[in-house]
Amino acid sequence: MMRIGYTMMTEQAGPRELVGHVVEAERAGFEFSVISDHSFPWLPEQGHAPYAWSVLGAAAQATSDIPLMTLVTCPTFRYHPAVIAQKAATLQLLSGGRFRLGLGSGENLNEHIVGRGWPSARVRLEMLDEAVEIIRALFGGEYVTRHGRHFQVDDAKLWDVPPTPPPLGIAVSGPRSCALAGRHADLVVATEPKRELLDAFDAEGGAGKPRLGQLPICYDPDRDAAIARAHEQFRWMLGGWRLNAELPLPAGFAQASQHTRPEDVAKSIPCGDDVDAVVEAARAYAEAGFTDLALVQIGGDHQLPFLRWAESTLLPALRDL
């Protein structure tokens, strides 16, 4: 049976609101939570991008039991992997062992701000591979010195090390990233219900490990309003990750999606209050072999009605999958 989680989407809500939302998600019965780690929203209409790690620290204190996770952090441009290791170890201690560190090769949208350029996907995966090795080594609590192709680490050490290191999740989208995840990850992350990604992960050493997916929905009793909001704020998603990893600014996503119609979005994202539509979308992940599914409610101002509906109606239906 899949565990159902809640997404704190930093692109669509401010920091105080995000913490309040995850508190309500815990109360509603969600089994885990994830947070995006962005420096820009995908579209200007979303309007937010607070620092995810500060939100996580507050969420760790405001909640009691719900697991926390980054979905996902890029440890190669904005952040040096040694800094990520320190942040993740601290979060694991603050949360009492509830933190999972999700990692990925990133998007130009968030990483361009440090002015280091945007190399090919192959190079970005090389950098991720090296970064994960550094993070793992630092979780051991010893001094670490590495002189790699992409990163230098000189006598780094974590002085506050959790008894159990945060499990590492790695986002995948193709064979190379699946191979990397199979070597390094404690769980795999994918945003589409593609069985072939999980099979590739298993073949590279991931068999038996958790696999986490993410599903956007747009709850609203008025289906037309839900479709309009999903189109306004989530039409970027239909561009696919090969495009979404490359564009540097929200204006580029707005231009790239200018011809996307509301009906196109409604075909890809469950909109309205039809529980069966959400269950069927979730079923695709269950049948592909996912163990965890994080829901994204579209619209920062529409989280609390969604959470009430999820508690009373949606979560009971999803638990019957």
Annotated catalytic sites, by residue?
38, 107
Token pair for 12: 């669509």
Query: In Å, how far are 127, 227, 261, 274 from 103, measured between CA atoms?
Result: 12, 31, 32, 33
Contact assessment for residue 50 and residue 14, using Cβ atoms and an 8 Å cutoff: yes
Cα separation, 211 vs 202, whole angstroms: 10
The pairs formed by 159-164 with CB atoms below 8 angstroms and a separation of 24 or more are 160/89, 160/90, 160/93, 161/89, 162/89, 162/92, 162/93, 162/97, 163/97, 164/92, 164/97
Cα separation, 82 vs 15, whole angstroms: 25
Token pair for 26: 């815990």
Cα separation, 14 vs 208, whole angstroms: 37
Query: In Å, how far are 141, 145, 254 from 159, measured between CA atoms?
Result: 7, 15, 44
Query: Three-state DSSP class for 285?
Result: helix
Q: What is the CA radius of gyration of the chain?
A: 19
